[in-house]
Amino acid sequence: MDLHKTKFYLDKLNREYTRMSKDPDTIVRIDVDIMASYVRELYDAILSDMVAAAPKQEAIHQKKAVPMKPAVSEEPPAPVPAEPVAPPPPPPVFEPAAPPPPPVIEEKPAPAAPPVELAPQPQPVVASQSTEPTPPGMEVLFEEKQAKELSDKLSELPIADLKKAIALNDRLLLTRELFAGDGQAFETAIAVLNGYTHFGDAKTYLVESCVIRYGWLDKKRVEEAKTFIRLIRRRYK
């Protein structure tokens, strides 16, 4: 039974519980809805893992069945071939007379064409990845740790579209925690980040437009910001 998907949702549930337990006096209805949705996702993950494991057990039982050997049927007796009949002799073949050889025409060599000068091809422009250093105090948000566990490696697989990779419940959480509840600001940031081809450009945008503006270095938002930035980094792998 594969429990990787179950562990992924269990980690999300533990992370939300840790965040709520730090400041229980400020828990609102949306926090309860998010926690309940994580519980439902965990239940669905466990159920899907159990259903996926069932066909493997049935395949093992089917391999033990011994196939029945087909009955050998007696072949009918071969027919007795009839005596061959000699074919009639072929008619005589008359070969036509060979035609006269064609006259020989001397061809003059054509003058050599002048060499064609090829126009120089334009060199492709290669987009350079930004190497601007991280401002002091923000290094903690952009740290990249090497994945050791299998679950961590699975959570770092490349993604093609940030908008499709973020579930609805996570959108509500990120909008509330990292964009001060401004849904339009969250959608604008996702659209801008999807348009980049290098993480260096995305990093510059986050530093200039999001980190200071929405207080991502605050103790209550650091862990959620680091998780969001790790998700963004997967867009450019």
Structure tokens at 148: 């050791």
What are the angstrom distances between the C-alpha of 194 and each of 135, 148, 229, 237? 23, 28, 13, 13
Of 131, 187, 134, 197, give the one whose Cα is nearest residue 160.
197
Of 164, 184, 162, give the one whose Cα is nearest residue 175.
184
The answer, as to whether pTM is greater than 0.85, is no
CA 146-150-156 angle, 5° bins: 55
Instruction: Look up residue 109 and give its amino acid.
Output: P
3-class SS of residue 35? helix
pLDDT (tens place) for every residue of the chain, 237 residues total: 557 777 887 888 888 888 888 888 888 888 788 888 878 887 887 887 677 666 665 655 555 544 555 444 555 555 555 565 566 666 655 555 566 666 666 666 666 655 555 544 434 333 334 445 566 678 888 887 765 565 656 667 899 999 999 999 999 999 999 999 999 999 999 999 999 999 999 999 999 999 999 999 999 999 999 999 999 999 998
- DSSP conformational letter for 164: H
| Helix, strand, coil content of the chain in percent (nearest 5) | 50, 0, 50
Long-range contacts of 151-155 (CB under 8 A, 24+ apart): 151/4, 151/7, 151/8, 151/11, 154/4, 154/8, 155/8
Structure tokens at 203: 């990093």
